[in-house]
């Protein structure tokens, strides 16, 4: 099918730089998700790949061939838009047929391609309806059908689920993943929702301010974020950060926060520390572990804190509190009732600690 190569891609709108130098190789049949906060240039990237925006600088290759100046229809890419962008005056069938008719395919081939997509997406009952007579989820399917019938080399999705309610969004997310597995088409997907990114992607590309901050598999990004921004962006609730500094004694570095000390593992973080260096420690909510009162004699707690409020989700409870002026969230895996203002003991799971340079925000890791 297709590989996509992006080399030093830049996009400027007048004087405004929307994308400032993106390099990326997208593998054949892979599912790549661009994720990042709103306005970071994800849509702009996708639209350049689609051919809807001129690439200001850099090279884009499809299957090794430079396509910077190839118009959208000749690129063999299909796009599903956030608003679905169905043709309101055409029936579902006509929406699906439009591109094939423009391609001047023979009628039997048009029919067979449309049927294939219709069966795949189960939209048979609505074929003769206009888009206005469809629900959001049905429109979404038709929009995907319109992309599928073209049998493109690359599928592009721009926040396709953001107009759906939460339940339908989860359902469609799974369907998109299944569909991609089944069709084996290189797919590029844009979202600001990190859950979509984590669940859909073979490769996540995290963007900020028009540059790629990190790319890798979901687990790589989750476990080894390249910097504090990514660590905070991926994962819900987001990672907790505690400011502190390094204290050296006999060549062993210790993280000193406000009111607590944590050992810094040489094997994980290396040895390049200096006395007084600013650091930020990061713990995911599940790594700030609430301790049971009854067993307190055995388990040593790192600190005590009063619970501000709780979110009981049934299978788990989120505890919101603050310690030494820093707010944090802890995930209680075996929920019990927790009263507001209850004082609880917490322990850091030091094995899962993340460390970031206090000034640059870059992750610190053993070389």
Ligand X SMILES: Nc1ncnc2c1ncn2[C@@H]1O[C@H](COP(=O)(O)OP(=O)(O)O)[C@@H](O)[C@H]1O
Per CB under 8 A, residues contacting another protein are 50-52, 72-73, 77-79, 81-83, 85-89, 98-99, 102-103, 146, 150
User: Minimum distance from CB of 136 to ligand X (Å)?
Assistant: 20
Nearer to another protein, 73 or 293 (CB): 73
User: Are 78 and 150 a contacting pair, CB within 8 Å?
Assistant: yes
Output the smallest distance, CB 140 to ligand X, in A: 19
Q: Looking at 22-30, 42-50, 71-79, 176-184, which segment touches ligand X (CB under 6 A)?
A: 42-50
CB of 200 to Mg ion, least distance (A): 16
Q: How many CA atoms lie within 13 A of 170 on its CB side?
A: 2
State which H helix or E strand residue 306 sits in: strand 303-312
Binding mask 154-193 for ligand X (x = CB under 6 A): ----------------------------------------
Q: How would you class 250 by CB atoms within 10 Å of its CB: exposed for 0-12, middle for 13-18, buried for 19 or more?
A: exposed
Piece in contact with Mg ion (CB under 5 A), picked from 35-43, 61-69, 220-228, 339-347: 35-43
Of the chain, the end-to-end C-alpha distance in Å amounts to 38
Whole-angstrom CA distances from 110 to 93, 101, 115, 143, 312 are 11, 8, 8, 17, 52
Find which of another protein, Mg ion, ligand X, none residue 86 binds, CB within 5 to 8 Å per kind: another protein
For ligand X, the closer CB: 43 or 305: 43
Of residues 102-141, those binding ligand X (CB under 6 A): none
Q: Based on CB atoms, which residue is closest to another protein, 140 or 194?
A: 140
Shortest CB 183 distance to another protein, Å: 18
Residue 269 neighbours by CB under 8 Å, 6+ apart: 253, 355, 364, 365, 366
Q: How many chain residues are in contact with ligand X, going by CB under 6 A? A: 11
Contact segment (CB under 6 A) with ligand X among 11-19, 98-106, 227-235, 344-352 equals: 11-19
Closest listed residue to residue 161, CA positions, set 125, 136, 184: 136
Tell me how far apart the alpha carbons of residues 89 and 280 are, in angstroms, rounded to a whole number: 56
**Residues 238/37, Cβ–Cβ less than 8 Å:** no
* CB distance 227 to 213 below 8 Å: yes
CB of 178 to ligand X, least distance (A): 26
Q: How far is the CB of 21 from ligand X (least distance, A)?
A: 14
336, interface contact from ligand X, Mg ion, another protein, none, CB < 5-8 Å by kind: none
Q: Tell which one of 43, 310, 330, 363 touches Mg ion (CB under 5 A).
A: 43
Q: Which of 6, 9, 40, 176 binds ligand X (CB under 6 A)?
A: 40
Distance CA 308, CA 316 (A): 17
Q: Distance between alpha carbon 2 and the CA centroid of its chain, in Å?
A: 23
**What residue ranges bind ligand X (CB under 6 A)?**
13, 16, 18, 36, 38-44
């Amino acid at each position: 099918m297709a590989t996509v190569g992006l080399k030093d891609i830049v996009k400027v709108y007048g004087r405004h730089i929307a994308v400032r130098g993106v390099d990326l190789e997208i593998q054949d049949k892979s599912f790549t998700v661009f994720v990042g906060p709103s306005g970071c240039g994800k849509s702009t990237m996708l639209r350049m790949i689609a051919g809807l925006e001129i690439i200001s600088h850099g090279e884009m290759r499809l299957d090794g061939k430079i396509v910077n100046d190839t118009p959208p229809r000749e690129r063999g890419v299909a796009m599903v838009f956030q608003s679905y962008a169905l043709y309101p005056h055409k029936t579902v069938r006509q929406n699906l047929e439009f591109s094939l008719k423009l391609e001047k395919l023979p009628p039997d081939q048009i029919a067979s391609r449309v049927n294939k997509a219709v069966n795949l997406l189960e939209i048979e009952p609505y074929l003769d309806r206009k888009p206005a007579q469809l629900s959001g989820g049905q429109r979404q399917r038709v929009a995907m059908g319109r992309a599928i019938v073209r049998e493109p080399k690359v599928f592009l999705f721009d926040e396709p689920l953001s107009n759906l309610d939460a339940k339908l969004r989860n359902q469609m997310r799974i369907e998109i993943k299944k569909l991609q597995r089944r069709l084996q088409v290189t797919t590029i997907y844009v979202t600001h929702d990190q859950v979509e990114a984590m669940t859909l992607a073979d490769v996540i590309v995290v963007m900020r301010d028009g540059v790629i901050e990190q790319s890798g598999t979901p687990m790589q990004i989750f476990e080894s974020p390249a910097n504090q921004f990514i660590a905070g962006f991926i994962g819900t609730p987001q990672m907790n950060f505690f400011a502190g500094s390094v204290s050296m004694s006999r060549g062993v570095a210790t993280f000193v926060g406000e009111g607590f000390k944590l050992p810094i593992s040489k094997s994980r973080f290396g040895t390049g520390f200096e006395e007084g260096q600013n650091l930020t420690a990061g713990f995911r909510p599940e790594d700030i572990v609430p301790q049971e009162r009854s067993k307190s004699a055995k388990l040593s707690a790192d600190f005590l804190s009063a619970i501000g409020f709780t979110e009981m989700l049934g299978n788990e409870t989120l505890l919101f509190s603050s310690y030494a002026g820093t707010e944090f969230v802890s995930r209680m895996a075996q929920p019990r009732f927790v009263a507001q203002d209850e004082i609880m003991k917490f322990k850091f799971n030091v094995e899962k600690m993340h460390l970031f340079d206090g000034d640059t925000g870059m992750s610190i890791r053993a070389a």
